[in-house]
Chains A and B, each alone.
Chain A
Amino acid sequence: MNESNQTIAPPSLRPAVFAANGEHHPDAGLNLRPSGRGNPSRLDGAVVGQTIGTVTVVDPVFSCRDVNVYYGAKHAIKGVSLDVGKKQVLAMIGPSGCGKSTFLRCLNRMNDTIAGARVTGQILLDGQDIHDPARDVVQLRARVGMVFQKPNPFPKSIYDNVAFGPRLHGLVRRRADLDELVCTSLQRAGLWNEVKDRLTQSGTGLSGGQQQRLCIARTIAVMPHVILMDEPCSALDPIATARIEDLIDELKESFAIAIVTHSMQQAARVSQRTAYFHMGSLVEVGETDRIFTNPRHRLTEDYITGRFG
């Protein structure tokens, strides 16, 4: 535990915590907060204590325990424990520099590429440690796809953009199979009808929203278990954003999705669970419905109501 985690929330309002020994707090998942009557401190204190809410899920894809990230001397992620569940969307919100993107990048070991970055703690993907030396990072990234803020299609044809991953990983043997995979991926990304007549044209010639859906098609073509999204709509207009959000809602039936977003409304719209990060710590995690109506930590409340300053 780092120093800031020594400051525990007031004893009158015990948070449901994931205990260090890996067991659930007996009250985890219950609403521990008194009704509020005659209780001036409705929420837990403004200090960052232990994470409030249940960090575990019944059927996790990712299971992260006590993850710390250091960029040189900077302690960017401080003892975060969090699960990503199957067939659901986990939204990660928080002010700039709170560590939400850094945490996301831990999940497919993208921090490996940054000089001076060090990750400690345990991250299990389907029960296997992703930091296992025997683990092939390329294979890991095939199972954990990523969609970035700015659409980044390859300067190749639309077809080749989607076919690139399956070819690289040897997922298909015959051309006909590849055609079908490209077609279904584009269909699932909701792009097929718009591009079916121009598959040979360059992917960079599409509109921003189409490019982003092309990137999503490229990601799902390699049949990942998890899709990570780092502010996938922040460069898009509202209509393209709505299309992507609708797509996320459909994709969650097949994939686990973890999305970092600056738009709290987007987190409220697309996710089932929401995690609030603050200065490298995971402050609160819970059902999205509850976080946006009845957050338990004051920092969460301040952030989502726009009182942070």
Chain B
Amino acid sequence: MLEGHISRSFDGELAGLHIRVLEMGGLALDQVRAAARAYAEWDLHNAQLAIDREGVLITSGSRIFDDQLTLIARRNPVASDLRAIIALAKIAAELDRAGAEACKIARTVLHQSGRPGRRTSSDARHLANLATALLRLSLEALDQLDSEIADQVIDHDQDLDAEYAAGLRRLLTRALEDPANLEVTVEAAFVLKALERIGDHARNAAQQIVSLADHVAVGGQAAQQ
């Protein structure tokens, strides 16, 4: 996709970088899914899985960083190539942070601090479905370098924000009815916030993809001429 250079090995290196960011996205998505399931089902196995994934995600991120440094040092990219590399760096950073949010959720379960009630679990599951859908969609946009799909992510992040606000209100109402379980409420609020942040990271990545896709459209056309 990032093709058309006279030096075809440069094409290959850019394509390789693109694929590694996608792979990192796959890791982050898995981690978010595991953490969300762990909280909603209060499942220690999935919580541990999400924590274990963190190291893999960080390794993947640092390899991408190394590749980018090498590409910049060796190829001196300018214009659209330079911006593509920087955009991919920013996307990798967003994926890394999404993974860190998933870790926070998983730790709540592992530390056995405040198992949520049925209704809170249900709210968390609902938010988690929206957040993972956004992340998955943004990875699809990254895979195809499709700015229309990325635009959908940006639009739908607002839905997640609204659901988060509503979920938080319901949580507070329940806390007022049953003040004894304050710890559960505080932990649940943090979990809902983490899910909302995952959506934000998906949106930020999508914004980078929009600009990246535009540049690629240019390069692709150029290659054909």
- Asked if chains A and B come from one complex, the reply is yes
**Contact-residue bracket for chain A:** 20 to 34
Is A259 in contact with chain B by the CB < 8 A criterion? no
Give the residue of A265, A293, A309 whose beta carbon is less than 8 angstroms from that of B76: A265
A293 to B222 alpha-carbon distance, docked (Å): 17
Is A133 in contact with chain B by the CB < 8 A criterion? no
A85 to B154 alpha-carbon distance, docked (Å): 45
Is A112 in contact with chain B by the CB < 8 A criterion? no
A42 to B211 alpha-carbon distance, docked (Å): 10
Residues of B near A37 (CB, < 8 A) are 147, 210, 214
Could you tell me the distance in whole angstroms from the C-beta of A183 to the nearest C-beta in chain B? 39
Q: Is the CB of B78 within 8 A of A307?
A: no
Residues of A near B82 (CB, < 8 A) are 293
Question: Smallest CB-CB separation from B83: which chain A residue?
Answer: A293
Residues of B near A308 (CB, < 8 A) are 6
A292 to B77 alpha-carbon distance, docked (Å): 9
Binds B, one of A6-14, A233-241, A296-304: A296-304
Q: Is the CB of A295 within 8 A of B79?
A: yes
Question: Smallest CB-CB separation from B217: which chain A residue?
Answer: A40
Residues of A near B80 (CB, < 8 A) are 301, 305
A38 to B151 alpha-carbon distance, docked (Å): 9
Taking CB atoms and an 8 Å cut-off, the chain A residues in 254-309 that contact chain B are: 264-265, 268, 292-295, 298, 301-302, 304-309
Question: Smallest CB-CB separation from A309: which chain B residue?
Answer: B6
Q: Is the CB of B214 within 8 A of A305?
A: no
Query: Binding site of A, secondary structure by majority: helix, strand, loop or mixed?
Result: loop
Residues of B near A38 (CB, < 8 A) are 147, 151
Is B215 in contact with chain A by the CB < 8 A criterion? yes
Taking CB atoms and an 8 Å cut-off, the chain B residues in 29-84 that contact chain A are: 76-83
Could you tell me the distance in whole angstroms from the C-beta of B122 to the nearest C-beta in chain A? 37
Known: A265-B76, A292-B78. A42 touches B83 (CB 8 A): no
Could you tell me the distance in whole angstroms from the C-beta of A46 to the nearest C-beta in chain B? 5
Residues of A near B170 (CB, < 8 A) are none
Q: Is the CB of A304 within 8 A of B79?
A: yes
Question: Smallest CB-CB separation from A39: which chain B residue?
Answer: B214
Contact code string B98-133 (vs A, CB < 8 Å = 1, else 0)? 000000000000000000000000000000000000
Taking each of B7, B147, B214, B215, which has the highest tally of chain A beta carbons within 10 Å of its own beta carbon? B214
Q: Is the CB of B222 within 8 A of A46?
A: yes
A298 to B78 alpha-carbon distance, docked (Å): 13
Contact code string B185-219 (vs A, CB < 8 Å = 1, else 0)? 00000000000000000000000001100110111
Residues of B near A305 (CB, < 8 A) are 5, 77-81, 219
Residues of B near A295 (CB, < 8 A) are 79
Give the residue of B6, B78, B151, B215 whose beta carbon is less than 8 angstroms from that of A42: B215
Is A228 in contact with chain B by the CB < 8 A criterion? no
Taking each of A42, A301, A305, which has the highest tally of chain B beta carbons within 10 Å of its own beta carbon? A305
A264 to B211 alpha-carbon distance, docked (Å): 24
A210 to B131 alpha-carbon distance, docked (Å): 64
Residues of A near B78 (CB, < 8 A) are 264, 268, 292-293, 304-305
Could you tell me the distance in whole angstroms from the C-beta of A279 to the nearest C-beta in chain B? 14
Q: Is the CB of A42 within 8 A of B5?
A: no
New contact pairs (15) apart from A298-B222, A306-B6, A307-B223, CB-CB < 8 Å? A40-B214, A41-B217, A292-B79, A293-B83, A298-B218, A298-B225, A301-B222, A302-B222, A304-B79, A305-B77, A305-B80, A305-B219, A306-B5, A306-B10, A307-B219
Residues of B within 8 A of A (CB): 4-7, 10, 76-83, 147, 151, 210-211, 214-215, 217-219, 221-223, 225
Task: Give me 21 A-to-B residue pairs in the complex whose CB atoms sit less than 8 angstroms apart, sorted by A's number.
Answer: A37-B210, A37-B214, A42-B215, A43-B218, A46-B222, A46-B225, A292-B79, A293-B79, A293-B82, A293-B83, A294-B79, A298-B225, A301-B218, A301-B219, A301-B222, A305-B219, A306-B6, A306-B10, A307-B6, A307-B222, A307-B223
Q: Which 4 A-B pairs have the closest CB atoms?
A: A36-B214, A302-B222, A307-B4, A292-B78
